[in-house]
Amino acid sequence: MTIYVKIMPNLTGPFVVALLYDGLCTFEFGIAAEIFGLSRPEMGSGWYRFASCAIDEGPMRAHGGFVIAADNGPEVIEQADVIIVPGWKGADVPVPEALCQRLRAAHRRGARLASICSGAFVLAATGLLAGGTATTHWRYADKLRRHYPGIAVDDASLYRVHDRIYTSAGSAAGIDLLIEIVRQDFGAAAANSVARRLVMPAHRTGGQAQFLERPVAVREGLEIAPLLDRVRANLTHDWTIDRMAHETRMSTRTFLRRFSEATGMTPGDWLVAERVGEAKRLLCQGNASMEVVASAVGFGSSHTLRHHFRQKVGLSPRDYRARFMTEEPIST
């Protein structure tokens, strides 16, 4: 059987296969092709090999009004180390049993399976997620629960991992997930390199709950913006609510209302988030002690830093540094 690898067939790294189907979610497929199929000579010969395969016969339509034809059929799945399901035709569209059988067989021999957005319904249909935890776009979470009650559906996380099966939330969360796979395979430096090329953070904090529909804040509090810049430039200052209100020449009550309108947060929550964000930057760029980092961002003590950092990021500062600290550039 001939396998057409998209780019640089002389590579020797993990073999990644992305599924193509009629009604393809174009953006989700593009994420997989960008991260795993783009030429990256700086990564060396051990970088990923990439191919796509059709699970439907004949020319296939894709979102955006064009038709695609694949170089490979579903037999390629048998050789894949990583299989990407880039979305699916719809939450209520049945998954072919032949595809489920191929995915189950791939998983038995050690392959990793990953889905983006509604692709979680394909992995759920295999039965491999039963008894585990998975995520999908928050709009589909309830339907996934109803269809597959044996799966614990986490509608807050950007991605979840269960027994070599990876699921991600909305479309852009697929980028977070695939960069995490790169980090697991090649380390933080490689993940950071890919993220920089995408102009993305190597690790995005928070969860999809922050993207749920809500009224758009009325941005009438433009007088708040100069204050935010001053606070960011002087995070070590004692920024009490009274001091912030005084800086904006507002009463405390008016300031609190305008601040919420402008940021969607309370001053205290916003300040903590800014300090944690700066702490993340410092942790990734050097070996300063936790006390030094805490002092530099205005937390005062390493205990306070650890408390707020874990609440916002879900990791301790030490674990975050170990995972995401910038390493030496990859040699070309």
Query: pLDDT tens-digit profile of 140-188?
Result: 999 999 999 999 998 888 889 999 999 999 888 899 899 989 988 998 8
What is the mean pLDDT of the segment spanning 259-282?
89
305, exposed or middle or buried, with CB in 10 Å at 0-12, 13-18, 19+?
Answer: buried
> Which residues 6+ apart lie within 8 Å of 102 measured at CB?
74, 77, 78
Count CB neighbours of 13 within 10 A.
18
Q: How many CB atoms within 10 Å of residue 48?
A: 25
Domains located in the chain, CATH noted: 15-198 (3.40.50.880), 219-324 (1.10.10.60)
For residues 220-231, give the mean pLDDT.
75
Q: Which of 15-19, 198-202, 282-286, 287-291 has the lowest mean pLDDT?
A: 198-202
pLDDT greater than 70 at residue 221: no
Segment among 163-167, 226-230, 296-300 with least mean pLDDT: 226-230
Contact present, 105 and 78 (Cβ < 8 Å) = yes
Of these ranges, 195-199, 214-218, 261-265, 316-320, the one predicted with the greatest mean pLDDT is 316-320
Identify the pLDDT of residue 26.
95
Nearest to 190 by CA among 9, 27, 17, 14: 14
Provide the percentage of residues in the chain whose pLDDT is more than 90. Answer: 59
Band (pLDDT 50/70/90 cuts) for residue 226 is confident
Measure Cα distances from 217 to 68, 220, 229, 258, 276 in Å: 41, 9, 19, 10, 23
Cα separation of 5 and 55, whole Å?
A: 17
Q: CB of 299 within 8 A of CB of 275?
A: yes
Query: Is it the case that residue 219 has pLDDT exceeding 50?
Result: no
Higher pLDDT, 197 or 124: 124
Name 169's bridge partners: none
Helix (H), strand (E) at residue 84: strand 82-86
pTM to 2 decimals?
0.66
pLDDT of residue 211: 43
**What's the mean pLDDT in 73-87?**
96
Cα 93 to Cα 143: distance, rounded to the nearest angstrom: 12
Burial of 310 (0-12, 13-18, 19+ CB in 10 A): middle
Query: Residue 325, SS3?
Result: coil
Distance CA(278)–CA(3), nearest Å, equals 47
For the stretch 133-147, pLDDT in tens is 999 998 999 999 999
DSSP H helical segments within 210-264, as ranges?
A: 225-233, 241-247, 252-263
Distance CA(167)–CA(133), nearest Å, equals: 9
Q: How far apart are CA 197 and CA 146, in angstroms?
A: 39
* Average pLDDT value for the chain: 86
Between these two residues, 196 and 51, which has the higher pLDDT value? 51
Confidence at 4, pLDDT banded by 50, 70, 90: low
Run of H or E including 16: strand 15-20
Least confident of 22-26, 168-172, 261-265: 261-265
